[in-house]
Each structure stands twice: as structure tokens, then as C-alpha cells.
Amino acid sequence: MTQPFDPTGTPEPTHLVLVNAAGARSLWPVYLPVPAGWATEHGPASHEDCLRAVTPAQSAPPG
């Protein structure tokens, strides 16, 4: 059984990145309404693209 936050494996726009007033981000399926207090920051886009938008970039260790 799949869940609404699972990746779909397709490049189709299936998810959003939401942000609230505190700056918290959330991965959200496009077919669900955006909850009160949240706004769309990115998307609609693929699950993978939205996941990249909410995951902090990895930097190389110094040295």
C-alpha cells in the first residue's frame, strides 16, 4: 500500500514544498489541499525535485 508522501517514480508533478511562518518546510502531495498556515514554496514538481528542495545541500568537509 502506498502512502501520500511516497515517491511515485515518475517525473510528473506530484508534490509541493510547503513553508510555514516559522520557516519549516514540508513535502506535500498535490492532490491534498494546502493546510491553513502553510504556503507553497516550490512546485508542483516531481517527488525527487521537491525532496531536493527541502533537503539541505551537503558540503564537503574543510581541509
Instruction: Kindly list the structural domains of the chain, giving each domain's residue range(s) and its CATH number in brackets, ordered by start.
Output: 15-54 (3.90.820.10)
Does residue 44 carry a pLDDT above 60?
A: yes
Judge contact between 29 and 8, C-beta under 8 A: no
**pLDDT computed for residue 1 by the predictor:** 46
What percent of the chain is predicted at pLDDT more than 70? 71
In angstroms, the CA 35 to CA 24 distance is: 13
DSSP state of 34: P
pLDDT tens digits for 3-30?
A: 555 555 666 789 999 999 999 999 999 9
Residue 61 pLDDT class (50, 70, 90 cuts): low
**β 25-29/38-45 pair status:** unpaired
Run of H or E residues at 38: strand 38-45
**pLDDT computed for residue 6 by the predictor:** 57
